[in-house]
Structure 1
Amino acid sequence: MPISPSSAAQAARESVAQRLRELRADAGISGSELASRCGWSHPKTYRIENARTPPSTDDIRRWCAACGVPEQAVDIIAQSHNAESMYVEWRRKVRAGLKQLQNSYLPLFRSTRQFRVYSATLIPGLLQTEGYALGLLSSITEFREIPDDVVDAVAARLERSRILHEPGRRFVLLVEEAALRHQVCDADSMAAQLGHLLTAGTFSSVALGVIPMSSPERAVWPMETFHMYDDTLVSIELLSARVTVTQPSEIALYEKAFDQLRSIAVYGADARALIVKAIGALR
């Protein structure tokens, strides 16, 4: 079972702490002695070793020097920075409004050739229509009580979706059938959104799969929405945060989950039949 994103972030912090703890043990010095060599209190050593306080860049340099291995500082600093960037609070990201959040993804989109997206509850952003995005982002803005720049944010999201038509990129997008039924906008807009899926499924760069609710004995359960950018980064969306995973072992876990989810999805005519069924169920 994949570990939860918040647990993954904490595990990354603990990995840094363990590595520092092992350096001290290998050097054969006590926590008190290390604190003395670094010029801080013993409780600070304890907090760092137990992942209660993330070490600063200077802390790591002092620690490695005290243990006689200053050359290891660069690698541990990079590991620590990665651990702290894995868990980013949404409130900090969206406090200036949602347009800025949409645009913040552009550099990552530009550098990615293969996009893999799994969503259990919503239509993926790359396939959202104006009406659907307007309903969704309006709800998010109201719920989070953040500045209302929804119209601009929707425009930014639609502009970003033009990447679907750029050559040299591949998109594999999986949605649970339930995502076709969650009505986050009015019925007319929802019908237009589902109609767009019928069209998007024919794009040469897009493989759109729908995982039927009736899939028998599915090996992989519905899970959190995640985006895979090539094979170097996974972004997981939570209510309170966006988690970024870059550790190869964890990326491999999401690749395994994605491949299994992909194997139980339906495509082409079968996927279109489920979309048409969802359109017919609108009131």
Structure 2
Amino acid sequence: MTSSVPWQERLSTGTEAVQDDVIRWYQDTREGKAYVPGMIWGTLQTEAYATVILGQVVNFLGVPNDVPAGVAKRMQRQQVLYDGEHHYDVILGEQALYTNVGGPEVMREQIDRLLRDIDLPSLTLGILPATARVDMFPVHAFNIYGNGDRAHVELVSSSLDVTEQRELALYGKAFDMFRKATSYGDDAKKLLGKAQSFWADTPPRDE
């Protein structure tokens, strides 16, 4: 089964209530997976990065502007990385390290955060190199929650929750195929270091 909820309906009261839902999902997920090719996974975002992202969501969808409250909840959800009760297997596309969210200062802080957290026991963080040969066609970002019994997909106009077992199996298969081409450990840190150097050498754009 696949259920869809339009973002403008789901965010009709602002971003905070949705973040409460996400906190609950993550707290209920002991072993989660996420594939995020073009931006930083929400549970690893810095406050500054999350502020830009949620601000863009509010502006694009025209929903109530409660960005500070939404960001505070997003930071709260990150406690699952430090409580010793959860584990998340996360693949970021190398492009996510270079997608300019908020400018060089925000991105430098964000890459520093990834380098700091990559060795957390609760986290298996891999970077899928832009030039890696992948035996899987490019797809959208997705998260696998619970005991593998739900996949969550965010589209431009709505979010989707997939619970039908045959469909879920395809998400698991896709994740495993991306994982085979993903860099981990020291190789992932080298890719992060390369991005760190790029943003360190990138001056702010004149407005």
Which of the residues 145, 150, 174 maps onto 2:62? 145
Is residue 41 of structure 2 the alignment partner of residue 100 of structure 1?
no
Residue 109 in structure 1 maps to residue 26 in structure 2: yes
Of 114, 120, 144, the match for 1:203: 120
How far residue 181 of structure 1 moved from its aligned partner, in angstroms, is 0.4
Deviation above 3 Å: which 4+ runs of structure 1? none
Contact 1:175 1:211 in 2 (8 A): yes
Cα distance in 1, alignment partners of residues 111 and 76 from structure 2? 19
Residue 280 of structure 1: CA displacement? 1.8
Quote the offset at 1:100 in angstroms. 1.1
* Displacement after TM superposition at 1:249 (Å): 0.4
Offset of residue 106 of structure 1? 2.6
Following TM superposition, by how much is the alpha carbon of 1:220 offset from its aligned partner in structure 2, in angstroms? Answer: 1.4
Check conservation: 1:131, 1:190, Cα contact below 8 A: no
Per the TM alignment, residue 186 of structure 1 is displaced from its structure 2 partner at its CA by 2.3
TM-score for the superposition, normalised by structure 1? 0.68
Secondary structure of the structure 2 residue equivalent to 1:168: coil
Equivalences for 1:75-224 in 2 at 5 Å? 83=2, 86-216=3-133, 218-224=134-140
Find the aligned partners of 2:58 and 2:193 in 1 and give their Cα distance. Answer: 30
**Counterpart secondary structure, 2:5:** strand
User: 2: CA distance between counterparts of 1:279 and 1:144?
Assistant: 32
- Deviation for aligned residue 1:277: 1.0
Larger radius of gyration: 1
Residue correspondence of structure 1 range 53-68 to structure 2 within 5 A: none
Is contact 2:40–2:96 with CA below 8 Å preserved after alignment? Answer: yes
1:268 aligns with 2:197: no
Give the superposition deviation at 1:111: 1.6
Aligned-pair CA distance for 1:222: 2.6
- Residue 268 of structure 1, CA deviation: 1.1
User: Are the aligned partners of 2:90 and 2:125 in contact in 1 as well (CA < 8 Å)?
Assistant: yes
Question: Matched residues in 1 for 2:47 and 2:85: separation?
Answer: 26
Letter in 2 for 1:111: D
**1:168: Cα distance to partner?**
2.5
For 1:222 and 1:113, the matched residues in 2 are separated by: 27
In the alignment, structure 2 segments of 5+ residues that lack a partner are 203-207
User: What is the CA-CA distance between 1:103 and the residue it aligns to?
Assistant: 0.8
Query: Matched residues in 2 for 1:221 and 1:191: separation?
Result: 30
State the secondary structure of the residue aligned to 2:167.
Answer: helix
Give CA deviations for 1:72-117 in whole Å, capped at 9, x if unaligned: xxxxxxxxxxx5xx11111100111111111122322222111100
Q: Is the 8 A contact 2:32 2:148 kept in 1?
A: no
The secondary structure found in structure 2 opposite 1:163 is helix
Which protein has greater RCO, CA pairs closer than 8 Å, 6+ apart?
2
Q: Unaligned stretches of 5+ in structure 1?
A: 1-11, 13-82
SS in 2 for 1:215: coil
- 1:42-53 to structure 2, matched below 5 A, reads none
1:121 Cα deviation from its structure 2 partner: 0.9
* Greater strand fraction, Structure 1 or Structure 2: 2
**SS at 1:242's partner residue?**
strand
Amino acid across the alignment from 1:95: S
Q: Distance in 2 between matches of 1:143 and 1:209?
A: 30
The alignment's C-alpha RMSD in Å is: 1.1
Structure with higher helix content? 1
Distance between the aligned counterparts of 2:103 and 2:76, measured in 1? 22
Aligned residues: 199
1:253 aligns with 2:180: no
- Report the equivalent of 2:205: none
